[in-house]
Structure 1
């Protein structure tokens, strides 16, 4: 039941524009803003992304209700080798202790082309997460971080929210057929 709900949330969390072109542009604008924020905090990531075969940027909303964690979002994978952009959605479900709502952005830097292709074509990611976030606009602090797994470096930036969680999650990323 939680998996169906998470995928439903992922399917509903999309840019609020009406046309396909406007949705794509909204995602690209989000991508550029997130990268600017990340470069401001970690300037060395700019060269890491430039040297990588590709990268992805996602906007996510996560809800933690006592023992369940649900989330959804959207984003884009940029293939630096071909210039192709693949628009994607995501949904997640988790079990563990937590409470709160968090709006955050994730940047994936792919260190080889096969890993990027596997992500675009199959998109599953599983993992454990423990974090605390208390942020509204430019006020507050968010502990996210950086991790490298399976030839992918992952950066998380919290936009806003109040959450305390320790969960084991399954996340599904898939191509957005309406935008590709």
Structure 2
């Protein structure tokens, strides 16, 4: 009976996160939702460029990039998250709006809000990300954190020709995780 109760709590929290991923834009028009995503993208890039100015030239010379906003909740042995973002093709200027969801395992409790920037180092990887979605499996990111006491690995990790930067309230951060994250096109906004 305890397992069933735990499952219901976890499922309820997961549902709230996934539905809450677009809570700021639920009653808005499609144009307003797109503008909210663009505003988030601009704010995240401004913050990232302030923390790591060299990323600006990396993004400008790449075939494209993506920016995502995500909320994550950790409950005892599981974590769940959901969010939204946009992929920008630097060659065509095309914007593809996307959603994301994640499930993870590990000890902990709490809520974490973070933003992620993906820099695509070749056109094929970016196209696959947009057209087929993308999923992280079990991963152990290079632990890095920009804060009061130094930086490890410059706050970035490269996987499958994609460099990923993760920003939290405390700055630029990547942490060791074992989770599955899925990205897919937002049918409503595209």
TM-score range for the pair, normalised by the shorter chain length: 0.7 to 0.9
Determine the structure 2 residue equivalent to 1:170. 180
Number of aligned residue pairs: give it: 171
Determine the structure 1 residue equivalent to 2:117. 107
Q: Secondary structure at the residue paired with 2:53?
A: coil
| Cα pair distance change 1:100/1:90, threshold 3 Å | same
- Separation in structure 2 between the aligned mates of residue 85 and residue 35 of structure 1, nearest angstrom: 15
Does the 8 A contact of 1:11 with 1:89 survive in 2? Answer: no
1:5 Cα offset (Å): 7.3
Determine the structure 1 residue equivalent to 2:189. 179
Tell whether 2:41 aligns with 1:58: no
Tell whether 2:84 aligns with 1:78: no
Does the 8 A contact of 1:10 with 1:72 survive in 2? Answer: yes
Q: Which has the larger radius of gyration?
A: 2
1:125 Cα offset (Å): 2.0
- Separation in structure 2 between the aligned mates of residue 7 and residue 120 of structure 1, nearest angstrom: 24
Tell whether 2:24 aligns with 1:16: yes
- Separation in structure 2 between the aligned mates of residue 15 and residue 102 of structure 1, nearest angstrom: 16
Higher relative contact order (CA 8 A, sep 6+): 1
TM-score by length of structure 1 reads 0.83
33-42 or 116-125: bigger deviation:
116-125
- Separation in structure 2 between the aligned mates of residue 27 and residue 15 of structure 1, nearest angstrom: 12
- After superposition, give the CA deviation of every residue in 1:56-108 in whole Å (9 maximum; x if it has no partner): 00000010111001000000000001110000000000111122111100000
| Cα pair distance change 1:29/1:172, threshold 3 Å | same
Determine the structure 2 residue equivalent to 1:68. 78
Q: Secondary structure at the residue paired with 2:47?
A: helix
Root-mean-square deviation (CA, aligned residues, Å) is 3.0
| Cα pair distance change 1:117/1:179, threshold 3 Å | same
- After superposition, give the CA deviation of every residue in 1:25-66 in whole Å (9 maximum; x if it has no partner): 010000000000000010000000000000000000010111
Determine the structure 1 residue equivalent to 2:136. 125
Note the residue ranges of structure 2 that are not aligned, 5 or more in a row: 1-6
| Cα pair distance change 1:34/1:101, threshold 3 Å | same
1:127 Cα offset (Å): 3.7
Determine the structure 1 residue equivalent to 2:4. none
| Greater per-residue strand proportion | 1
Does the 8 A contact of 2:66 with 2:117 survive in 1? Answer: yes
| Greater per-residue helix proportion | 2
Tell whether 2:185 aligns with 1:152: no
